[in-house]
Structure formats: structure tokens, C-alpha cells
Structure 1
């Protein structure tokens, strides 16, 4: 590489960085994408895509077995092979081809800020190259895993989410530390692939940010899949059993032995070594780069942006991509001297980050929610009424024998609009976008009454919710 100048330089080639670069090019801005690992990032190779590939085949078999007269099984080895195909055997050439085909210049190496609009890229040969941005630098460096300060945890070769989703073999005994999304999903995946799984969670319920009914049903589903779920239990100490990753875990007054320990206790923004001090930017206590709703970094002038996990707002792939679209549009508008629409729900404001974040946990049952929980809405001072009921309609009964689900709707009674909806049940992820539209669109309940659900589908639960709300 030689020194270069572009309109926009994006540091980090995960989904948020790819989106920022792609939309900037579409706006007519010359753009470089800097990445020192794989273009496509964590989501494509070690998180969203491979984890769902590990979960999908066992889930399809479990769903089939819920119908009378169906027998089904699967080959764990074939599941691993299918996972590997979805990550292209950890080869990013296809995504590099996409980027370059879209007009994005891919620069291999680690990027760091060295001054205003200036990025130093250090490649494999350790020869730094200076890249200058005429309009904007976008930080999209994602997040890195957190390891809790447990005595002895550094004495064994623990798994993080990367090692779990890229595993070549199924451990006979797996310990999972953490009851968040990664912990729950990977506990289910490996239990169904043949591991004896123990999930250890310090709190009283898994998925602590979800509605309580979702947490309870997911935990019950894990137990039904054979996972030993230990709540209100801390990991007190770790010691190696051999030199190959096996460990003895001290917890709850006793010990267990596992062949692998997966640490899924959260992540923090990946800001180490970014050179933020060179441009006077201060991170939060967790290392996040604070931004406004256009993605502009606070204290970073009119040229520095941050999208995705690195800004600490909503650490999910789809929200990072959403922020990237907003930021790229704002960069293009400022470059052209156009006014920005930063009002709530405006073209240049990531309003959904605050009010309408959708999330799916691909367990069995699935948990899917958007917006605020009842507790969060009340804490925000919203006058709410909660409608909670079983999902029991013709569509659910036809889907599987014994199908069971639950829905929680949080209504702002002053405006009579939904501010949060949670579903828990088999396959409920596909119900979520309708709820997201209702929350984002602030659709009045009297208008939703005219959104007629097709029969016989599980979406008929929308009619039942509205009937319940009217009758109370």
C-alpha cells in the first residue's frame, strides 16, 4: 500500500462497517474499508451466521418430532459441515469481491487514528501507511469479549463465542458461564449436538433484560433439552484437569468437571488501540465511543463517526447496520451542504436505538421482542397497561401438537399505541417484524383493529390481543 486519500475511511469491516462503506459509495463518496481480519466481521464468521447454522438443523428435527407419525434425526457432523459452508470455511474472498465490486477500496491492516481525518493502517508487513479522509472517518470496530475475574480462569484454555461457533468437534461435557443470549443459544446448540451441558448464571433468571415470562420459558426449554441450568450460582474458581482445556469448576458449594468452558459473560466496545486520544475523544466507563443520533462522535468534531457495537448503544448486527445507513446519509448530506433531518424518526436520526430495538433469541422456545418491557416503560414514566396472554389460535394448534406460546403487549395508555411487544414460543421470530412496524409507526390500536390477520396463521394472536385490550 502507498499513502492514499479518500472522501470516507471506515475502520472495521464487519456488517456495520460494510454498510457504512457501501452507502457512502452509493452517495458518490470515494471510500476505503480498513480491516485486519475478515471482511464481514464477527457476525459473518463467528457469531450470528454460524451460531444459527448450528441451531437450525436440530431445531428442524425437534419441530418435526412434534407432529404425529414423524420420525427424524440428524448427523452432528453434517451440522458442523453446513456451518462451515455458511462461513465459507472462514475465507472472506467473496465479501472482498462484493466490496470491491461495489466500488469500495479494501485496505488490509489495523487502522488507528493519528490525527484529524488521518488514519494509519499497519498491514502484515508492519509497514504503516497513512490514509487521509476528506470528509469523514467512521469507526466500526465492533466489540471484544469480557472475561470475568474468576480465580484460575486464566489457567485453562477457555472458549469464547468464536471458539464455540467454529468448533470442529463436540465436547463430551461443556460448561457455559453466562445466561445471556450467547450462553442460552450455545447451551441449546451443544446439548442437541450431544454435549452434556451445564449453564451457570449468577442472576435469578436467564435473559435478564427480557420480560420475565420469556426468561422462564427459555430456561424451561433449556432444561427440556437436557441442559443443567444453575441459576443464582457464581463460578468461584477454575482449575485445569489436563492440558487440553478440561477444567474443574467450583460453584455453589460443589465442583463439576467439564471438557470445555465457554465464557459468555458479555462484550465491551473494541476501542483499544484506536488512537482516540490523538483526536481528544474520551470513551465511557465501558470503553464506548459516545455518539449523537447521526452517529457523530461527541467531542470528535464534524468528521468522526462511530457505528455498531463500538458506540455502545445497541450491540446487535441489525442495529449497527441501521446506524451505518443513518451515518452514511448524514456524511453525504454534510458533504453536499444539505440540511439534516434529525427530528425523531427523521432521515438522519437513529431514533429506533432508543425506542424500537428488535431482538430474537433462537432457543426453543424462541424469544422475540421489540421496544420496551413493561418494567422499562414504567421506569421511563410511561403510563402503561400490559396485556399478557397465551398464544392459542388455530394456526398455533395446526403448527404442532402441544404448541405453547405467550405474548406480552405493553400499551401506552395516554396515546393508545404499543411501546413494546414480546413473544415466546416455537418459531415466533417471524411474528416480530409486524410488532416492530406497529411500534415504530406508533400505529393507534383502533387502526390495528383493521389489520386483519390471515386465517389460520399464528398471526391471529394480534386479533386476540386487541380483543383482550378492548374487553378489560
Structure 2
């Protein structure tokens, strides 16, 4: 077990597997290959635990949890009058820091070592077939070789637009938005996707006046249209200024304030500006050119996560652009680990079974996602538009959560909607979407139904408990049957 910040025991080494990137995805690959008895090295240039642990999932949800808890309490008589004041921003930020481990990765390194993986701190680059060089913080260059596989799990970084004046403005990206030490009085958020709406929700509740500038016609464009509509309504009611169909044309800082010009002729001012306008792969300085691949590109893979045209290189998580979600990357890691172990042992892969141990089929058919706004938006599988574009003969079935007794008990004035997309030829679900307070905890039931291709007739026998919000399943099935 080697942390090269504190040990120089290994200056070069041969391993069965070398993993570049120690985020949740790389950690899970290492866990699976070590469980299979393969020696494994993990290389990380920043913090073990990756983007999710320090600048994405954990800190963002730590910021959002008090916001959602207060909103839920505010919808209940007997509690509403107790939560009228502002959030204690200092306490929220302190808890955020705790959940991000104060940006210290000792615990993550210890976990990797506990599964028997060797950890190298430094910048890893491919240097030819099955060969990785590591430029360590101590200035020493190490060479690692892999008998069976090199795995790229370096994730993504924020993608900024090419705008006049942007560099001088020093804009926030998702990293600054989740790690900021103070609440800006005014915050402009550019974008309409998950990062944009979650951070708009968090900082508005913490005391910022948020202006959300969205180039498209709605929020959350990858979900059913009603999801973005309900989230936009809630943000507006909370005090945010939501501007749809608005593109930023120029930005500048004047006297400490950010000034934004738009294509609609409007001018906005703020203390900070967050660009949440997409992600780019962290593959630009990985030595991909030494093995005939394009630096800075997404890496196409097969369903075992092996890079197209290679018999030893794998790309797992965001870098393959299949599903840019931590939980989906960890799923891919489990599949890749099993495939690497099978190939190393000379065991045939279960390629004939699309839902087998060596195929990341859920990337195509059953990707779940929760957006932690108020209301929450949760979806799995295909939207109605996606199902139709894929050539399926489908029907959308919608119900309002107001028809469910459990929703009325959950909160007074509960607002939300559910949709299931039914494949009319196979009588299974292609996708499910929920929007409403607390619906994230409903999503796994939908994920099981979609991934398991559970027939509609069998779903009738999955009885939801009364009076829970999950009775929405009964209402959906009743609406389908008529």
C-alpha cells in the first residue's frame, strides 16, 4: 500500500490493473479488481474521492438538505411558523465543509489501502500499451505497467463558453458554487440543467437574490417538460428571477460587481456569476496520443466499458459520456471490474446476456437521476419523446399527486405529477418520472420496474402501503387500465 506523498517504497511496479483517477468510479473499479484477486494500483492527481466527494454530490446535497427540510416543514401546520426566518447560513456552510471532509482525503486513501490497492499521488499519463507514468508531487517520475488493463476514470470538468471578458470576471463553476465560503448578495446562474437549478435553489434559500439565465425554452431539458415547468414555478415563488430564452453575450467586472449583457438587450448585475453550461472530459493530458486516441476527447466504449479498438484500455464513468452521474459510473465500475477479472482468468464474457454481469445495459435503458430541488424531480429510463424517437409504440400515463392520500399527509398543498411511459407492444415500462416533495425516495421502485422489465399485469400485485406517497403507483396503473 503506497501513498507516494509519504513513502518511496515503489519507484516502478508491475500490476494486473492500473486505474487513473481515484474518484468514486476509480475506487469502485479497484474494489472489484482487488476482490477478484488482481493486484491494482490507483493514481490520482488531486484528492482521492474525486469531484463527487469534494465539489459535487456531497457538498451540493449538504447545501440543499436544510433548504428542503425547511420547505417541507413550512408546509405543515404546527411547524410552519417556526421556520419563517432565514437559514443559518454559517451553520449550513460548516456542515457542508464537514460533509466534504474539509477537502482532506486521508479517509479515502485509507479506504483504498484497506482493500489492498496501492495508491500513487501524482499525474498519471498513458505512455504506450499497458504503461502509465506518474509525475509525483515529490518530483519523482514513476512507471507502472499493467498485465491486463489500464482504466481511465478521470471524470469531467466544467465547460465554459467563449465569451468576451469571461477570464477577467473569474466566474464560478460547479466547484466554486459548492465550496464558496460566503453567501453573495446577488448571484447570476447561467444554465438550465441540474447544476444550475440545484445551485439556484440552494443559494436563493441561503440569502442570495438569484437570477437564472436560461438559453433554452425550459429547465431540465433532458427530463419530461413538466419537470422543468414545476421547478421553474417553485424557483420563481421563492424569489428567483427566471429568464428563459436568454443567452449571455458579454460579461465584465465593474467596481467588484459582475455585469452581464444578453441577446435580449437586458443588463444584469451581481456579485458573482455561476456558469453551469456543460462538462468536458478530463482526457486532454493523459497521453492518449501514445495509443492512437485523440487527447481531450470522449472515449467510446463497448458495454463491458472497454475502449473501442483496444483489448486492454477501459474508460469508466463520465469520460465515456454514457451517463454523467456518480451512481451510474459506480455501476459501470462494477461491470468493468467483473469484465476485467473474467478476461484475466480466461473466462468467456456473458455477452449474450444484455443484463448479465459483464454488460452495462442500464446505461441505455434504465438510468435513474434525482434533482434535489424543491420540488424534487426524479426520473428513470426514457422520456416520452425519447421513447418515441427510439421507435417504440408508447403511451404516457399522467396523474397528479393530489390524488394520493399520502401526499396530502406529507404536506399541505402538496403539488406534483407522475408519469409512466408504457410500451404498448410489450406491456412494460420504458420510463417513469416523478416531480414533487420527497419523490427521490420513490425512484428506486421505478428503477426496479424499468430495469426488471416488470409486466404491467405483475405491477398490479405490487401493493403500495396506505397511506404513503407510493400509492401514486396504484393511481398510475388505474389510469392506464381506465
Structure-to-structure mapping, 1:59-74, within 5 angstroms: 59-70=68-79, 71-72=82-83, 73=85, 74=87
Once the 2 structures are TM-superposed, how far is the Cα of residue 125 of structure 1 from its aligned partner? 2.8
| Other-structure match for 1:93 | 106
| Other-structure match for 2:151 | 138
| Other-structure match for 2:340 | 331
Once the 2 structures are TM-superposed, how far is the Cα of residue 376 of structure 1 from its aligned partner? 0.4
Preserved CA contact (<8 Å) 1:136 1:303 = yes
SS in 2 for 1:20: helix
| Other-structure match for 1:254 | 266
Tell me, yes or no, if structure 1 residue 409 matches structure 2 residue 420: yes
Q: Within 1, Cα distance between the matches of 2:272 and 2:152?
A: 34
Q: Within 2, Cα distance between the matches of 1:281 and 1:158?
A: 32
Structure-to-structure mapping, 1:9-158, within 5 angstroms: 9-70=18-79, 71-72=82-83, 73=85, 74-158=87-171
| Other-structure match for 2:289 | 277
SS in 1 for 2:228: helix
Q: Within 1, Cα distance between the matches of 2:266 and 2:196?
A: 21
Q: Within 2, Cα distance between the matches of 1:40 and 1:198?
A: 32
Q: Within 1, Cα distance between the matches of 2:427 and 2:21?
A: 42
Tell me, yes or no, if structure 1 residue 306 matches structure 2 residue 315: yes
Q: Within 1, Cα distance between the matches of 2:136 and 2:373?
A: 40
Q: Within 2, Cα distance between the matches of 1:225 and 1:341?
A: 51
Once the 2 structures are TM-superposed, how far is the Cα of residue 126 of structure 1 from its aligned partner? 3.0
Moved over 3 A (4+): none
Task: Tell me the alpha carbon deviations over residues 366-421 of structure 1, each in whole angstroms, 9 at most, x when there is no partner.
Answer: 00000000000000000001101101211100011001110011000000000000
Task: Tell me the alpha carbon deviations over residues 27-75 of structure 1, each in whole angstroms, 9 at most, x when there is no partner.
Answer: 1001011001100000000000000000101211111111012112531
| Other-structure match for 1:444 | 455
Q: Number of paired residues? A: 466
Q: What TM-score comes out, normalization by structure 1 length?
A: 0.97
Q: Within 2, Cα distance between the matches of 1:326 and 1:435?
A: 22
| Other-structure match for 2:244 | 231
| Other-structure match for 1:355 | 365
Q: Within 1, Cα distance between the matches of 2:171 and 2:293?
A: 34
Once the 2 structures are TM-superposed, how far is the Cα of residue 282 of structure 1 from its aligned partner? 4.1
Q: Within 1, Cα distance between the matches of 2:330 and 2:90?
A: 33
SS in 2 for 1:175: strand
Structure-to-structure mapping, 1:160-239, within 5 angstroms: 160-239=173-252
Once the 2 structures are TM-superposed, how far is the Cα of residue 86 of structure 1 from its aligned partner? 0.5
Once the 2 structures are TM-superposed, how far is the Cα of residue 132 of structure 1 from its aligned partner? 0.6
Q: Within 2, Cα distance between the matches of 1:260 and 1:294?
A: 42
Task: Tell me the alpha carbon deviations over residues 229-276 of structure 1, each in whole angstroms, 9 at most, x when there is no partner.
Answer: 01000001101113x5x3111122121111001110010111111111
Tell me, yes or no, if structure 1 residue 296 matches structure 2 residue 309: no
Tell me, yes or no, if structure 1 residue 344 matches structure 2 residue 357: no
Once the 2 structures are TM-superposed, how far is the Cα of residue 277 of structure 1 from its aligned partner? 1.2
Query: Which runs of no fewer than 5 residues in structure 1 stay unpaired?
Result: none
Q: Within 2, Cα distance between the matches of 1:224 and 1:39?
A: 40
Q: Within 1, Cα distance between the matches of 2:58 and 2:31?
A: 20
Q: Within 2, Cα distance between the matches of 1:159 and 1:463?
A: 44
